[in-house]
A and B are shown apart, each in its own frame.
Chain A
Amino acid sequence: MNGFASWASMVWAQARLNQTVLLRQRGLAFSVLLLPLFMAFAYTSGDAQGGATVSGVPMTVFAAVGAIAVVFPFSYMTITTGIVVRREERVYKRLRGSALPTSAIFAGDILHATLVGAVQGGVILAYVIAVVGAPVPRNIPLMLLAFVLGAAVFAALAIGTSGLIPNYEVAQLVALPVLLVCMFGSGMMLPLSELPEWGQRVAERLPLTPVVTMMRTAFLGRDFGRDGAPEVGFLEAFQSSAAGLGVALLWIGVSLWCTRRYFRWDPRRA
């Protein structure tokens, strides 16, 4: 087996193991596997009759498309709790003593959380089109880019902040504000224009905001980053997402810095 193939198979083995372990922890499995679906459904089954619109797009469709992004804060939760539990239970010590390269451990975590998110995203997407009546996504490459970007940002945040989280209980606690900030501050459910001026400035800089905006642009073919959400063409959609891409990359950069600074393989010594 050549180097990459053997590395890839180790990554896959890690991802698979993570899933087996996750399924054994019933409470956590429910939270990270099913809760995002419930939230997305609950969220998009509001009153469609109200007829409210955001820049001409029905509110229900607007929110339903944003709801897909709910999978990312849950990926964050999957990865941080996984890291913290393995560190505190000293499983990392054992893993690192095996033939497994460190990169495969990280890559396995990211792959696992991303695959879970992709399946959930797919289910929500299907629901949004079939039940909520959203149109078929306009710009699938940009949609995929937005998904990959979201997955990358939240995986990086998870690894970067795990060193600051002392144990499983705190990992669960931290996941909640992350989820709330993502839901209410990133334009997932509400258009950012509903927020006060200062709130909009803050929201624009949050890690999930560019991902949500990019997804909507890709899905609906309109630039929700601009007033009035004008229609944009295929390439223009990529162009209008560039600024958001910058914000997302900045968060990845901050996370990598935090990883260097705070990541720990072993529990803190008493």
Chain B
Amino acid sequence: MNTTAIEVRDLHQRYEDFEAVRGVSFEVARGELYALLGTNGAGKTTTLDVLEGFRAPTKGQVRVLGHDPLAERAAVRRRMGLVLQEAGFYKDLTVAETVDAWRRWTPGAMDRRAVLDRVGLTHREQVRVGQLSGGEKRRLDLALAVLGRPEVLFLDEPTTGLDPEARRNVWALVREMVAEGVTVLLTTHYLDEAEQLARRLAIMHAGRIVTEGTLGAVLAGRGTRIAFRLPGVRPGELPYASGPTRRSVRADGEAYTVETDRPQEDLRVLLTWAHQRGLELAGLEVRRPSLEEIFLEVAETEKVAA
């Protein structure tokens, strides 16, 4: 059996005079959770639109479970579940009526109770959809997406606008789906979300993928951060040689961030130096780069290149 669930090859998508996606390629294996990261306008939703069969690519090719999602819609539509960024509900129907209606045209649908239990909405069964909170609507979104036990789940910014607890609930549900073997393609601009859920990810910017790979690979090749606050000290006074080196020092007011690929040695130098001068390094931390930082770096580089 084919082990690739989603395949995108040199995808271009143009709206009149604007090219939203400019040559994107990636693959998602069956049972994998893959995250597409990017700011608004990076081209994530457009990429999903093509994969979901809502529009034909201007150029390039996409395959979902081995099929063209637009031309062979019938072959894939019932095997995919979609959480779209801005899809509406019939506001006047109750949660139960909505699920029941969807069950009528979803082959092999789960029981209403089972699906509502799964997303934690059972207690709101008789409430009209228009009266649900944002988090509850998102859960109903997920309920409809998983109703037909999909093999592939597309989640377009599934936790945007949710409070922290609701986000964690969504994450738990997504993890369960992955554990059951569902392939998930997730878009998000929350970096911690990708960090929490995805094994592999791509960072999109201005219609292109700028970094792609496993979380480890994306983080590797980017130095460890030593961060601290030190009032009344100029960057030049730090115990690090100036000039082009394997490390960089960034100062933002009294907050310093040292990026290094030899953290142990550089930390020792710093601590000895501070100790000798009787200085207190406030808020000292040593950590891997966050996706946030990688993301900003990518955006910076792109701006420079443009």
Contacts and interface: CB of A to CB of B under 8 A. Distances in A.
A6 B88 contact: no
Contacts of A13: 101, 104-105
A169 interface: no
A90 interface: yes
Interface in A1-16: 6, 9-10, 13-14, 16
A97 interface: yes
26 contacts: A13-B101, A13-B105, A14-B105, A16-B104, A17-B101, A17-B104, A21-B90, A24-B92, A24-B93, A86-B88, A91-B88, A91-B89, A93-B87, A94-B88, A94-B89, A94-B144, A96-B54, A97-B54, A97-B82, A97-B84, A98-B82, A99-B77, A99-B106, A99-B107, A100-B105, A104-B105
A101 B74 contact: yes
B261 interface: no
Contacts of A49: none
A104 B89 CA distance: 18
Interface in B52-109: 52, 54, 73-74, 77-78, 82, 84, 86-93, 97, 101-102, 104-107
B148 interface: yes
Contact of B105 (A10, A86, A91, A97): A10
Nearest to A101: B74
Contacts of B101: 13, 16-17, 20
A10 B87 contact: no
B88 A90 contact: yes
Interface of B: 52, 54, 73-74, 77-78, 82, 84, 86-93, 97, 101-102, 104-107, 144, 148
A94 B101 CA distance: 13
B189 to A, nearest CB: 21
Contacts of B77: 98-99, 101
Given A13-B104, A104-B105, A97 B74 contact: no
A32 to B, nearest CB: 16
A86 B90 CA distance: 8
A16 B93 CA distance: 13
Q: In this complex, which of B73, B74, B102 has the most chain A Cβ atoms within 10 angstroms of its Cβ?
A: B102
Q: In this complex, which of B54, B90, B97 has the most chain A Cβ atoms within 10 angstroms of its Cβ?
A: B90
Nearest to B74: A101
A20 B91 CA distance: 12
Contact of B92 (A6, A16, A25): A25
A202 B12 CA distance: 50
A231 interface: no
A101 B78 CA distance: 10
Contacts of B107: 6, 99
Contacts of A90: 86-88
Contact of A20 (B82, B87, B93): B93
Given A20-B97, A25-B92, A99-B148, A93 B86 contact: yes
A15 to B, nearest CB: 11
A11 to B, nearest CB: 9
A101 B107 CA distance: 12
A21 B86 CA distance: 20
Given A13-B105, A21-B93, 19 more contacts: A6-B107, A9-B104, A17-B101, A20-B93, A20-B97, A20-B101, A89-B88, A89-B89, A90-B87, A93-B54, A93-B87, A93-B88, A97-B54, A97-B84, A98-B82, A98-B105, A99-B148, A100-B105, A104-B105
Interface in A92-125: 93-94, 96-101, 104
Nearest to B104: A13
A90 B89 CA distance: 8
B166 to A, nearest CB: 20
Interface string A1-45: 000001001100110110011001100000000000000000000
B87 A91 contact: yes
Contacts of A24: 92-93
* 4 tightest A-B CB contacts, nearest first: A24-B92, A13-B104, A94-B87, A90-B88
